[in-house]
Chains A and B, each alone.
Chain A
């Protein structure tokens, strides 16, 4: 034991380091958003839904490639080619999962910040309303792109490996490099815009997700009903349909979009493109105006 004592200065010490610019600050918000969406650094129950949906989106792709490996050399290549889903077919599988993922993630990104006054933390920092919103939307876009692209990449690479001509397969399908992201963007622009707008006003995450899912389903039904009974142009109200039509167009797969109100009523895919751009633009403007007022 020693009889000597000491008092240590615990007072505030100035930060002498450099400061980074807005790009890095925005990136910090994107990272935070990705963590929120994926439930990282949260309790286990917060991870179940996002990771469950991701697994549901990726596992079939791995199974498809595995199945191809297993059946290779059985002499049933032509039959299997018809059975095994291609890239646009796989979009059909992930489309509804993406829809659910966005429905649950957009509220997670906006509602708690606003309802629990954490917006103050952002508003009192060197960033603008646009920085905050771009970073929040960017976080979801990153995850949704990964969510959509990962299984497509698995199928793409699996196909290349199994083809026996790896380089030839890759170079022969270069168009997929823009088609897959373009399809994912079409899905994101249509679905996320509306999900974010609802989340910007809702006070509870569950309510925001419910309203969004209900709104999308009802708009599809209303579009069908009104297009059939009043005027075919009412089919433009089928919001999900626009993304489906665009994916069908991108992959030159008319079958993909058959059954949508838009295709049934002979509405041009260009109208869908304009609708998707308009939805994204209106959603962005409304979101900005809403947050300009409250931040």
Chain B
């Protein structure tokens, strides 16, 4: 069995091959190669990393300067029929303010060639919880409501591939939970959902796979823990709470697996190269010293830490 790079998936619905995009002198995306498949993939990157440009190319809104891109096996710029199976939630307010929410979603259905736009719109509006406000004009909507009606507009054609650019912007906490659950459900149904967001906590809740971009290039791919593990030169940080932190700290310093120990406000913060070795060693050590451990928690396995390492190196 051969293993493939984490940048690629087994059954891709979107394939990006040596893709570049430049605007005059500015290179927005540089030689990207990766693929996307069913499930939720988070597209991460700091501002200006090129994630929106990549998303726009994948959604057929922008022509690549070089390289190849296929969505569901076709070039989206040449064969626009593929958009019958694609949905897009753009970051900007791409809505007709004077239309009611329902009419806007219905119009999206008509543009996607859905035979029964009213019924499809009704389903999509219900899915995003906008039923009560659907008859109001969009100009009177809050930011979160606009976001939800855009999501409804993207869902109305039952897309196999869904591009979401900052989809939770402005949504209140209840709606965020609901939308995240909706995206999970779409992923469970076998759809490809690509989420670009700068809110890492949200991406962490949504995506089981991450494509990270820095300066227009592919910086990392995989799940957050796997990407973190790839930083072999950066030790893991672990927080340990115990009843006698200083004694435990002294004992830990004698272990090969520990790089450094710090006690801050009666809490131990250690650095280690191998979480597995630490796990195997820590419990017997505490038992031998008769120390009670109350919490052991890695501090930099989160997407935010991984992202910080990618962008800043530390």
B127 close to chain A: CB less than 8 A:
yes
Instruction: Find chain B residues with CB under 8 A from A42 CB.
Output: 98
B182 touches A11 (CB 8 A): yes
Q: Known contacts A117-B93, A118-B94, A125-B83; is A21 also within 8 Å of B127 by CB?
A: no
- Complex Cα distance A19/B81, Å? 11
Q: Known contacts A12-B186, A125-B111, A126-B112; is A120 also within 8 Å of B60 by CB?
A: no
Instruction: Find chain A residues with CB under 8 A from B86 CB.
Output: 124
- Complex Cα distance A21/B81, Å? 9
Q: Known contacts A19-B84, A126-B82; is A14 also within 8 Å of B189 by CB?
A: yes
Bits for B85-99, please: 1 = Cβ < 8 Å to A, else 0.
Answer: 011101011111111
In this complex, how many residues of chain B approach chain A with their Cβ under 8 Å: the count is 47
A12 touches B155 (CB 8 A): yes
Q: Which of A1-39 contact B (CB under 8 A)?
A: 10-22, 24-25, 28-29, 32
B94 touches A116 (CB 8 A): yes
Q: Known contacts A117-B94, A120-B88, A126-B82; is A15 also within 8 Å of B108 by CB?
A: no
Q: Known contacts A11-B185, A118-B94, A124-B88; is A32 also within 8 Å of B81 by CB?
A: no
- Complex Cα distance A11/B189, Å? 12
Report which of A41, A118, A124 forms a contact with B83, defined as CB distance below 8 A.
A124
Shortest C-beta distance, B242 to chain A (Å), equals 44
- Complex Cα distance A129/B93, Å? 21
- Complex Cα distance A142/B108, Å? 23
Instruction: Find chain A residues with CB under 8 A from B82 CB.
Output: 126
A127 close to chain B: CB less than 8 A:
yes
Shortest C-beta distance, A249 to chain B (Å), equals 41
A123 close to chain B: CB less than 8 A:
yes
Instruction: Find chain A residues with CB under 8 A from B60 CB.
Output: 123-124
Q: Known contacts A117-B93, A118-B95; is A126 also within 8 Å of B115 by CB?
A: no
B157 touches A41 (CB 8 A): no
- Complex Cα distance A209/B111, Å? 28
Instruction: Find chain B residues with CB under 8 A from A14 CB.
Output: 158, 189
A121 touches B114 (CB 8 A): no
Q: Known contacts A17-B115, A121-B153, A127-B80; is A41 also within 8 Å of B98 by CB?
A: yes
Q: Which residue of B lies closest to A293 (CB)?
A: B63
- Complex Cα distance A21/B61, Å? 21
- Complex Cα distance A29/B36, Å? 32
Shortest C-beta distance, B291 to chain A (Å), equals 47
Bits for B53-93, please: 1 = Cβ < 8 Å to A, else 0.
Answer: 00000011100000000000000000011111011101011
Report which of A11, A32, A121, A128 forms a contact with B80, defined as CB distance below 8 A.
A128
Shortest C-beta distance, B57 to chain A (Å), equals 12
B129 close to chain A: CB less than 8 A:
yes
Instruction: Find chain B residues with CB under 8 A from A17 CB.
Output: 114-116, 119-120
Q: Known contacts A28-B110, A123-B61; is A18 also within 8 Å of B115 by CB?
A: yes
A11 touches B127 (CB 8 A): yes
Q: Which of B84, B99, B111, B153 gathers most chain A CB within 10 Å? A: B111
- Complex Cα distance A28/B104, Å? 12
- Complex Cα distance A216/B59, Å? 40
> Taking chain A's interface residues, is the majority helix, strand, or loop, or is none over half, making it mixed?
loop
A32 touches B107 (CB 8 A): yes
B168 close to chain A: CB less than 8 A:
no
B123 close to chain A: CB less than 8 A:
yes
Q: Which of B105-164 contact A (CB under 8 A)?
A: 107-108, 110-116, 119-120, 123-124, 126-127, 129, 153, 155-158
Bits for A74-103, please: 1 = Cβ < 8 Å to B, else 0.
Answer: 000000000000000000000000000000
B103 close to chain A: CB less than 8 A:
yes
- Complex Cα distance A21/B115, Å? 9
A122 close to chain B: CB less than 8 A:
yes
Instruction: Find chain B residues with CB under 8 A from A295 CB.
Output: 61
B111 touches A10 (CB 8 A): no
Instruction: Find chain B residues with CB under 8 A from A20 CB.
Output: 113-115
Q: Which residue of B lies closest to A127 (CB)?
A: B80
Q: Which residue of A lies closest to B123 (CB)?
A: A13
- Complex Cα distance A167/B103, Å? 45
Q: Which residue of A lies closest to B59 (CB)?
A: A124
- Complex Cα distance A10/B81, Å? 30
Q: Which residue of B lies closest to A39 (CB)?
A: B98
Instruction: Find chain A residues with CB under 8 A from B108 CB.
Output: 121, 125
Closest 10 CB pairs of A and B: A28-B110, A15-B158, A12-B127, A124-B88, A126-B83, A125-B111, A120-B94, A19-B113, A20-B113, A18-B115
Q: 9 additional contacts, CB 8 Å, given A16-B158, A124-B61?
A: A10-B127, A10-B129, A15-B156, A15-B157, A19-B84, A28-B111, A42-B98, A123-B59, A124-B60
Residues of A at the B interface (CB closer than 8 Å) are: 10-22, 24-25, 28-29, 32, 41-43, 116-128, 295
Residues of B at the A interface (CB closer than 8 Å) are: 59-61, 80-84, 86-88, 90, 92-99, 103, 107-108, 110-116, 119-120, 123-124, 126-127, 129, 153, 155-158, 181-182, 185-186, 189
